[in-house]
């Protein structure tokens, strides 16, 4: 076995050995694939390729098994048995589990399999609209997107993220017209503008646009003048951008979400005339009832992508095309991921289809990473108690207050640290609540449940980690350090096998673009760590020092992996809880 492989997970090593054995027996090595056992009560890993081999070679599966097992004898990693109708069941030896712990103690990334084929990813997981404060709907995009980015870079890929602000279009003209009524001196460059003003004015502006024709007309012409570069409007728009961005950065910052590029839709507006003219000239876009559109292949059954409407205005689709062109030119991504609400599925199919057809995408792959709705405990889209849209800022405050109450109820004294801990718990509750659900399904945002210190929650996992860390500290005070792993103890086998799954779960997270695989892994790991912690005494009378040192070693390895998983998911572990 080569050195490189000996550093990876047990699963990967046994998989490689088994494939080789199939090959050596004259069968297709691919049939030798090994995975986690469906029957953990019988075995740790299984290979189910014998039936296929038996069929291909017209053999009894038992005969094929004997041939393969002849090449599997002689190793101290595992024992293997044939099970009807066509399985090989692998049981890892205690010695190899212990060796794996020893390796991980020196190198916390020992269970990891590095990526051999790094790619360039550009991730679009912001999309907040200026002047409107962020709400829970924006949570999914940024939490899932940030976790994907962190996991991808950890696995060795190159990543760039862009916030892609909704900072252009009719909504800006509406807002400017409303400001002209509310605080006209702002148009002369005087007076101050606060986020609170925008929150009040923007809803008024959009309500007026619905039933006030004159206002609607003003808003349309303000939009046109802004686009034409009228200096007072541009200056005011810049002020709106600054004010909004400060508030966005505050909320994203609290969530540990950041972007490498802070671009907005406005960035691409100047390119639209040229882009659309070129596509028309190349015959890729064409006039249709006064508009300009890109027709998509008949078989796709998609409506054409509208680049310019009959009023001459450019829409969301044209901006997205220009964005792709700019991103490819500037950053050369292999893959662009759009972490955006599932309701935009059709939009992205149209945009990607058009970008491909117009030769804009080239070799770059574009993928929509859709997510479902966040519901309240009543099963309807999440609202405030009063029935309004819950602003992200208020949600964070509510969670923070609830976390403080929780800590105080647990008898923790309020100090400065206390505030930091409460914030870490609040953010963990929100993020794990999100990340433990498959992004494609809807989930219920249940503040009380998310904050529980028991059950499938962020705080539970943080607590599991803090508890082991405290044990390690107390042991150190008694002169006990993690030492050579020598025994498995009760539940040790289950714990090490779970640690061993990390690499596979990380790969699944990347392949499916679903951090829920990693979140579910760390939950299982926390459970097994807690079981082991409870079943194996370390600091009690009569525990042999070598046994205590061995248990501490395994607990440390487990704690390090929990911390690593939480870090990848963007969750901090507080000092104490
Ligand atoms: N601002 C958009 C919205 O609120 C989301 C933008 C998503 N990203 C994109 N490239 N289209 O719907």
DSSP string, 319-363: HHHHHHHHHHHHH--SEEEEEEEGGGHHHHHHHHHHHHHTTSSTT
Closest CA to 335 of 123, 512, 507: 123
Rounded Cα–Cα distance for residues 355 and 296 (Å): 10
Asked whether the beta carbons of 488 and 557 are under 8 A apart, the reply is no
346: left (phi over 0), alpha (psi -120 to 50) or beta: alpha
Side-chain-facing half-sphere of 382: CA atoms under 13 Å? 21
**Does ligand 1 have an atom closer than 6 angstroms to the CB of 320?**
yes
Residue 151 token pair: 């996991």
**Which residues lie below 8 Å from residue 476, measured CB to CB, with a gap of 6+?**
none
- CA dist list (Å): 455 to 185, 271, 459, 464: 55, 52, 9, 11
Rounded Cα–Cα distance for residues 86 and 172 (Å): 66
**Does ligand 1 have an atom closer than 6 angstroms to the CB of 267?**
no
Of ligand 1's atoms, which has the minimum distance to the CA of residue 316? 11
Provide the residue-wise pLDDT of the chain in tens; the chain has 577 residues. Answer: 333 444 578 999 999 999 999 999 999 999 999 999 999 899 999 999 999 999 999 999 999 999 999 999 888 899 999 999 999 999 999 999 999 999 998 887 777 766 778 999 999 999 998 877 788 878 999 999 999 999 999 999 999 999 999 999 888 999 999 999 999 999 998 989 998 899 899 989 989 999 999 999 999 999 989 988 899 999 999 999 999 999 999 999 999 999 999 999 999 999 999 999 999 999 999 999 999 999 999 888 999 999 999 988 888 999 999 999 999 999 999 999 999 999 999 999 999 999 999 999 999 999 999 999 999 988 888 887 777 778 888 899 999 999 999 888 888 777 778 889 999 999 999 999 999 999 999 999 999 999 999 999 999 999 999 999 999 999 999 999 999 999 999 999 999 999 999 988 999 999 999 999 999 999 999 999 999 999 999 998 899 999 999 999 999 999 999 999 999 999 999 988 8
Side-chain-facing half-sphere of 246: CA atoms under 13 Å? 10
Q: Domain 3-92 belongs to what architecture?
A: 2-Layer Sandwich (3.30)
- Give strand pairing partners of 135: 391
Closest CA to 337 of 512, 518, 170, 209: 512
Q: Give, using CA atoms, the residue closest to atom 3 of ligand 1.
A: 127
Phi then psi dihedrals of residue 537, to 5 deg: -70, 140
**Does ligand 1 have an atom closer than 6 angstroms to the CB of 127?**
yes
Residue 218 token pair: 């003003």
Asked whether the beta carbons of 110 and 103 are under 8 A apart, the reply is yes
Asked whether the beta carbons of 86 and 48 are under 8 A apart, the reply is yes
Question: Is 0.75 topped by the overall pTM?
Answer: yes
Number of other residues whose CB lies within 10 A of the CB of residue 496: 27
Closest CA to 244 of 126, 130, 390, 392: 130
Asked whether the beta carbons of 35 and 11 are under 8 A apart, the reply is yes
Q: Please tell me whether residue 387 adopts helix, strand or coil conformation.
A: coil
Go through the chain and tell me how many residues it has.
Answer: 577
End-to-end CA distance of the chain: 45
Sheet bearing 158-162, strands edge to edge = 158-162, 120-124, 335-341, 365-371
Q: Give, using CA atoms, the residue closest to atom 10 of ligand 1.
A: 320
- CA dist list (Å): 357 to 282, 330, 362: 12, 21, 9
Q: Which sequence spans correspond to the domains of the chain?
A: 3-92, 170-254
Q: Are strands 374-375 and 443-444 parallel, antiparallel or unpaired?
A: parallel
- Give strand pairing partners of 370: 340
State residue 7's pLDDT score.
53
Q: How many whole angstroms from 425 Cα to the centroid of ligand 1?
A: 30
Q: How many whole angstroms from 478 Cα to the centroid of ligand 1?
A: 56
Asked whether the beta carbons of 494 and 486 are under 8 A apart, the reply is no
Rounded Cα–Cα distance for residues 233 and 239 (Å): 10
Q: Give, using CA atoms, the residue closest to atom 5 of ligand 1.
A: 127
Number of other residues whose CB lies within 10 A of the CB of residue 402: 18
Q: How many whole angstroms from 331 Cα to the centroid of ligand 1?
A: 20
**Which residues lie below 8 Å from residue 133, measured CB to CB, with a gap of 6+?**
195, 199, 247, 251, 391, 392, 393
State residue 4's pLDDT score.
45
Q: Give, using CA atoms, the residue closest to atom 2 of ligand 1.
A: 127
């Amino acid at each position: 076995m080569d050195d490189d492989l000996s550093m990876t997970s047990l699963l990967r090593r046994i998989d490689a050995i088994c494939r080789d054995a199939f090959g050596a027996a004259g069968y297709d090595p691919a049939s030798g694939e090994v995975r986690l056992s469906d029957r953990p009560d019988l075995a740790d890993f299984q290979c189910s390729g014998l039936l296929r081999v038996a069929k291909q070679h017209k053999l009894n599966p038992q005969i094929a098994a004997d041939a393969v097992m002849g090449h599997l004898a002689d190793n101290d990693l595992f024992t293997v048995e044939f099970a009807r109708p066509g399985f090989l069941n692998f049981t890892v030896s205690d010695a190899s589990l212990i060796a794996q712990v020893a390796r991980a103690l020196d190198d916390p990334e020992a269970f990891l399999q590095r990526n051999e084929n790094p790619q360039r990813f550009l991730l679009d997981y912001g999309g907040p609209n200026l002047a409107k404060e962020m709400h829970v709907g924006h949570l999914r995009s940024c939490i899932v997107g940030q976790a994907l980015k962190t996991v991808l870079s950890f696995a060795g890929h190159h990543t760039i993220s862009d916030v892609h602000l909704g900072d252009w279009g009719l909504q800006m003209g509406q807002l400017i017209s409303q400001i002209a009524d509310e605080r006209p001196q702002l148009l002369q460059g005087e007076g101050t503008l606060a986020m609170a003003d925008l929150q009040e004015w923007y809803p008024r502006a959009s309500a007026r646009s619905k039933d006030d024709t004159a206002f609607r007309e003003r808003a349309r012409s303000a939009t046109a003048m802004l686009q034409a570069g009228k200096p007072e409007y541009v200056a005011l728009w810049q002020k709106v951008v600054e004010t909004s961005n400060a508030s966005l950065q505050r909320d994203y910052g609290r969530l540990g979400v950041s972007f490498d590029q802070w671009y907005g839709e406005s960035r691409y507006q100047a390119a639209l005339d040229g882009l659309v003219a070129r596509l028309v000239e190349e015959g890729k876009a064409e006039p249709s009832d006064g508009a300009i559109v890109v027709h998509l292949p008949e078989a796709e059954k998609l409506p054409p992508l509208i680049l310019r409407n009959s009023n001459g205005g450019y829409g969301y689709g044209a901006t997205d095309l220009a964005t792709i062109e700019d991103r490819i030119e500037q950053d050369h991504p292999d893959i662009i991921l759009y972490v955006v609400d599932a309701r935009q599925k059709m939009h992205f199919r149209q945009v990607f289809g058009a970008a491909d057809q117009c030769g804009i995408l080239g070799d770059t792959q574009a993928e929509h990473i859709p997510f479902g709705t966040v519901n309240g405990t009543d099963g309807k889209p999440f609202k405030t108690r009063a029935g309004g849209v819950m602003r992200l800022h208020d949600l964070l405050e509510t969670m923070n207050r609830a976390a403080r109450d929780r800590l105080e109820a647990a008898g923790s004294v309020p100090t400065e640290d206390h505030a930091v801990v409460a914030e870490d718990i609040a953010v963990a509750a929100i993020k794990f609540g999100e990340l433990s659900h498959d992004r494609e399904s809807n989930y219920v945002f249940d503040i009380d449940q998310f904050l529980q210190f028991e059950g499938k929650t962020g705080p539970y996992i943080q607590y599991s980690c803090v508890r082991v860390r405290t044990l390690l500290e107390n042991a150190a005070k008694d002169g006990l350090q993690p030492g050579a792993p020598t025994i498995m103890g009760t539940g040790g086998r289950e714990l090490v096998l779970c640690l061993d799954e990390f690499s596979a779960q990380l790969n699944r997270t990347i392949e499916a673009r679903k951090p829920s695989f990693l979140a579910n892994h760390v939950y299982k790991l926390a459970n097994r760590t807690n079981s082991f912690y409870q079943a194996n005494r370390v600091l009690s009378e009569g525990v042999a020092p070598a046994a205590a040192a061995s248990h501490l070693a395994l607990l440390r390895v487990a704690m390090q992996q929990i911390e690593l998983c939480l870090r990848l998911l963007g969750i901090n572990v507080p000092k104490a809880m």
